[in-house]
Structure formats: structure tokens, C-alpha cells
Copies of this chain bind each other. A is one copy, B any other.
């Protein structure tokens, strides 16, 4: 699960790097930071835990593979916004659930597990956007983090009910994936809390 998530996030990072016309190593670095950012912050916060890609360097090869694939197939990934959304969402879904799972492994309170899920799922994308100097996508109107929280809570409920492990993983992952795709497709936003709501200008990507 973590490996597939890293691969997907590496592609999403590479896409943003190429959009910004970085050189190949710049693209690989953005891909790496995007793929490991969330999990690394989680592992640093849980001080008993080693950082996952130092404990298991095979992640690094999957990330490299993802970045290189993105560079080779950039023609096929031409519709930038759609491709970015796809891989970013796969990463969000897999890593949110992985984060909650690891929190539960360490017997942390549910509220902490949910926060770890959100951090694992979204901090990679946040670092990517900070690195290339954009306002993080997580704060655009795409209710990114909200969906990650929904998935995390759903996972905890299923886990509590002691349902079959595969289902406990797959249902929240699919929920996050479907919810985000649907939300972006329908351009749904959370109810506004502002009175005169001039919409912020959309970024051009």
C-alpha cells in the first residue's frame, strides 16, 4: 500500500516539477519530497518510530521509477490537471489510511490517529506546493483535508467493528478516492463561512 502510494505521489510531484520547467534532478527532488513528505513527518512525530524510507530503502527505487515514468510519458500525461488529480488522489487515499493504521499500531488515541492520517495523506502535497511556491492545493476549495478526515474516521469505525482486514482497508480508500474525484468533478465546496463571498481567483492550473 505504501509503495503504491509513494509511486503515485512521486508521479504527482514530477508532474508539478515538469509544469514548473525544472531540470531532471529538480523534478526527481520534487517527486521525492512529495512522496515521502507526509510519511516522514508522521514518523518524526511518533518518536519511537524510524523514518520509513530509511528503515526500508526500497521505497526510494519506487519513487525514482515514478518520477522517471512521469518524465518519459509526459506526452501521454498531457492533460496536466487531470493526471495530477488522479495520482494525487491515489496518494491521498492510500496514505491517509496508512497513517491511521500506524497510529492505531502505536495505540494512540483516535483523534491523534485521525490527525496522523491527514498528515500522512496531505503533507507530501503541501511540501510540494511550498517548494514550488504555490499556495498549497490543500487550501484550495477542494476540501482535500476534509475528505482525508472522512476516510480516517471511516477506517477507525470499521477497525473498531473488527471487520475483515481487507475490507477495512479497501472501503475507506475507495471512499476517499471517489469522494475527491466527485467533489472536483462537481466543483463542490464546503459551505462558505463568509458573508460576501467573492470567490478567490482560481490558480491557472
Contact = CB atoms under 8 A, between A and B. Distances in A.
Interface of A: 17-18, 20-27, 29-30, 32, 40, 44-47, 49-51, 53-54, 57, 60, 71, 74, 108-109, 111-112, 115, 126, 130-136, 138-139, 141, 143, 145-146, 149, 189-194, 197-198, 200
A145 B112 contact: no
28 contacts: A17-B139, A18-B193, A18-B194, A20-B200, A21-B198, A23-B141, A23-B143, A23-B190, A25-B145, A25-B149, A26-B145, A27-B193, A29-B138, A29-B139, A29-B145, A32-B115, A40-B45, A45-B51, A47-B49, A54-B112, A57-B109, A57-B111, A60-B111, A74-B193, A130-B130, A130-B131, A131-B136, A133-B135
Given A17-B139, A133-B134, 4 more contacts: A20-B200, A26-B138, A53-B112, A60-B111
